[in-house]
Structure 1
Amino acid sequence: MTPAPPSQKLDSRSLLAILVTIVFWASAFAGIRAGLAAFEPGHLALYRFLVASVALGIYALVARIPVPPLGDLLRILGLSCLGISLYHVCLNYGEVSVPAGTASLIIASGPVITALLATRFGGERLNALGWLGTAISFSGVLLIVLGSGQGLSFARGALLILLAALATSIYFVFQKPLLRRMNPLHFTVWSLMLGTLPMLIFLHGFAAQLRAAPLGAHFAVIYLGLFPSALAYLTWTFALSRVPASVTTSFLYVSPVFAILIGWLWLREVPSAVSLLGGAVAIAGVVLLNLLGRPKN
């Protein structure tokens, strides 16, 4: 995968990469829920990204992925401490006290934050219809949460999840200059491995939890490490190297829609009519943003 300059429109390869990412990230909620039953939040994050780092490290050795220049390596480390380490640790700790539906609503603020940052620092622009599409999609996510019957619970954990949304938005926007001069696959490999390093602070007690955890919890975390982490971040970074960040992240509003579908197929959780309406509204907002939401130059 080679870097390509951002375009105003999605091509089929970028769209496919985004959809693969969103499906795996949507499926991660079940894996996190299963993992938290056996692991502390910090241990869960460490285990997940150790798995991802081992998989990507083996690939890096086989493919002979080069080490970036020191300046770029330090930039990747700084971004990864935010978008990988801080994001996942805050999200895990936040979901201990915040219902999944509320968490998804708070995380849904991420595309809004990303669009604001990309407009201010990335030279990207949305017109009035683009911001309207963003608002419509956010409203759709709100309907999904209300339709799930979980309501809105804003505890201290909610602040951690909001911090996670801010951290990942900064990560998405400020990696763009790096993706213009380096292979997005190489960036992802180094980002996930470097982002794992700060999680080593959770090593204390980790071995004991590994021994005590049931086999199902191990399978859940290994799945999280290989697919929603290693593979999904690769496909996401590939898309982000080709499409503006504000457009790419707008598809995160569709994640709760996939989560509903996965919950129905996997867990036999039948969605309510309000949740289905919310899913339709969220998709409509994304379509509006991507078809009419950017100024025509």
Structure 2
Amino acid sequence: MDLPVLSRHGGRAISRFTSPRFLALAGTVVLWASAFPAIRVGVDGLGPAALSFLRLAIAAVALVAVAPFAHVRLPKPSDLPSIALCGLTGMTAYQILLNWGEIHVAAGTASLLIAAAPVFSILLGSAFLAEPLTRDIVIGSAVALAGTAVVTLANGVSGFTAASLVVVAAAVVQGVYHSATKPLLRRYTGLEVATYAMVAGTVFALPLVPATVRAATQAPTVALLSAVYLGLLPSALGFVIWGHAVARLPLAVSTAALYLVPPVALVVSFVWLGEVPHVVELLGGGVVVAGVTLINRRGRRPAAEAAAQPAVAAEPCADIARRSALRRLDRE
């Protein structure tokens, strides 16, 4: 990221790093990093099913409330199957898998595993959307997947748990989500696609309502507050301020900043939960980030647009916000 420079705005010199766009970017990183320990707190008191439904429902209500003021359009009937796929994978399945995985996997470790999500997104895009595979993509994907394996087996084969694979599965369905949003983003804005997907994900999660009611009546207050926090802040507000940041910053700056999500998640998890990551986990996480960084080095314009994929390692809404910002810049 560039060194601080002074710019003139309204006759006053302000630091670039204290401008609203950089503060929005920093806020997004902290919000999405804090989601991992918040999930751990929520799932301990509510269970994965109830936490999944509450987070989706709260975020959906917040986005629907904003929709009239943001001029969000109704989707075309022909796009409903694609929207359903986005909601089922990127919202419902992602939440359930990640929440269940964090019962047995430390929050910081989960953030390192989810960091591999862009790899699956790019590979699926190549398989189903005819996107080219370059040498950097192939090598970067292999490096990132190797780092994922290191994190998963950090405690040795004897310490391996199926929960690690469940978190990796969450990264895979997130990759499906990112690929499925691409055609929709040619016709709708990022906020519109996020709203559609969140509402669809909540609909698919309706079978979880009975379990949610039972769990919520017995859950401690801290778990309920965690669900509200996750729905309103990392999911809803995080998307809004991320869109504000990427619309006003160079793509390379915003992408590079979101590589900070896993390390920040480790710090927040240590302060909040007292989790101390294994040294091997840290090394494996560094390998994952290195692989994703290599994938992001593509230099052509279409590749630069696809480079938005690595930034969604923490939360699914990042990808669609960035693509929307790119299209607005192109039209200008």
Q: What's the TM-score once normalised by structure 1's chain length?
A: 0.74
Unaligned stretches of 5+ residues in structure 2: 1-20, 248-253, 304-332
Partner of 1:113: 120
- Which string of whole-angstrom CA distances, capped at 9 and with x for unpartnered residues, describes residues 111-134 of structure 1? 222121111222333422333233
- What's the offset of the Cα at 1:72? 1.9
Change (3 A) 1:80 1:183: same
Percent of aligned pairs sharing the same letter? 37
Q: How many residues align?
A: 278
For 1:37, which of 44, 51, 54 is the aligned residue? 44
Partner of 1:186 in structure 2?
192
Alignment partner, residue 60 of structure 2: 53
Q: Is contact 2:49–2:212 with CA below 8 Å preserved after alignment?
A: no
* More deviation, 145-154/175-184: 145-154
Q: Which amino acid aligns with 1:43?
A: A
1:25-104 mapped onto 2 (5 Å cutoff): 25-100=32-107, 103-104=110-111
Q: Residue type of the partner of 2:50?
A: H
**Aligned pair in 2 of structure 1 residues 212, 49: CA closer, same or farther (>3 Å)?**
same
1:194 positional shift = 1.7
Structure-2 residue corresponding to 1:164: 170
Aligned residue for 1:4? none
TM-score by length of 2: 0.67
Alignment of 1:175 with 2:177, yes or no, is no
Q: Once the 2 structures are TM-superposed, how far is the Cα of residue 91 of structure 1 from its aligned partner?
A: 2.2
The one-letter code matched in structure 1 to 2:58 is V
* Alignment-mate amino acid for residue 211 of structure 1: T
| Greater mean deviation of Cα atoms: 68-77 or 251-260 | 251-260
Cα-to-partner distance string for 1:200-250 (whole Å, 9 max, x where unaligned): 111114334323322222221111101222234556789999xxxxxx999
1 or 2 for the larger relative contact order (CA 8 Å, sep ≥6)?
Answer: 1
Q: Tell me what 2:131 maps to.
A: 124
Deviates more, 1:123-132 or 1:75-84: 123-132
Structure 1 runs of 4+ with >6 Å offset: 14-19, 145-151, 235-241, 248-253, 293-297
2: distance between equivalents of 1:124 and 1:240?
Answer: 23
RMSD, aligned α-carbons? 4.0
